[in-house]
Structure 1
């Protein structure tokens, strides 16, 4: 799939496996309002080969239960465990200036306030508090975690493909 095609889609959730025995799935929503995931349907797989309608059926621990179009059995639902679901970017709400889709941050170059390259964003993680940027250091297999706060990341320049960071002393 081309970079342009991937940039036109945003990952909004993932299937956590089956829920019950009648083809429902456990759905992890990555949306600010978890139930809004159904509003962006049909959702597609990463390669765009399969599209699913989404009907939410309830809230469960760590997610939602849902029916996906075409999924009729527990076995079919189990086979989808781990599949990430994507929505077209133009179906998603516009974000305020200080908010970003995680997909837009991955791959950006991170420079320190002096212009030295620190690395590229490998992933955006969230373990309950603020987001963390996992940064892959240039010329090294190592990564480090940078808090995605205004203090540590004063500038995100999506158009320029870069982030200006002011990491805490001793982080790197």
Structure 2
């Protein structure tokens, strides 16, 4: 399994017991979707290794308490601390309406209600306080905040996202 075929689920943050149990912080708004997993991929030194789960249950609402098969001791658990967790993309819950996963919209066209066709999404910048669409318009990079108030409609069939940005926002990038 390659990382490109998977999504990041979270990170193992600490040990829970002396019997090899671990706590993972999940990168999701709905952690309860993942409390009955059979297996998970753990990133061990750049390789995704499958681990089978004996039991998994939510712990204090945001952490997932995991007991893996063949992880029986504190030393076994220590080896997995701070490791990233991944699952195959097909296990992602399907999103509808104007909700989307960042990886899913790469290559979508951005259309603005007033401006018209803006360009194609080449990446999502989520390293800032607010995530940004990184759009390529014939070699010019345009950044549009991923603000719910700006996103009018996500059309998965046509691979377009209709936005309504404030007047002049797109023009700022085009004025030479």
Q: CA deviation at 1:19?
A: 1.8
Matches within 5 A, 1:83-162: 83-87=84-88, 89=90, 91=91, 93-105=93-105, 107-113=106-112, 114-117=116-119, 119-122=121-124, 132-138=130-136, 139=139, 144=143, 146-149=145-148, 151-162=149-160
Partner of 1:167: 165
SS state at 1:77 partner:
helix
SS state at 1:26 partner:
strand
Deviations 1:53-89 (A, max 9, x none): 2623551485232223333344443443241321452
Task: Identify unmatched segments of 5+ residues in structure 2.
Answer: 171-176
**TM-score when scaled to structure 1?**
0.63
Structure with higher Rg: it is 2
Matched pairs, number: 160
1:17 correspondence with 2:13: yes
1:36 correspondence with 2:33: yes
Q: Is the 8 A contact 2:42 2:83 kept in 1?
A: no
Deviations 1:104-149 (A, max 9, x none): 23x244524110227433256897xxxx543335357x78562341
Q: CA deviation at 1:26?
A: 2.1
SS state at 1:167 partner:
coil
The CA RMSD measured in Å over matched residues stands at 3.9
Q: Is the 8 A contact 1:122 1:133 kept in 2?
A: yes
Q: Is the 8 A contact 1:137 1:143 kept in 2?
A: yes
Q: CA deviation at 1:153?
A: 1.2
Cα 1:102/1:116, change in 2 over 3 Å: closer
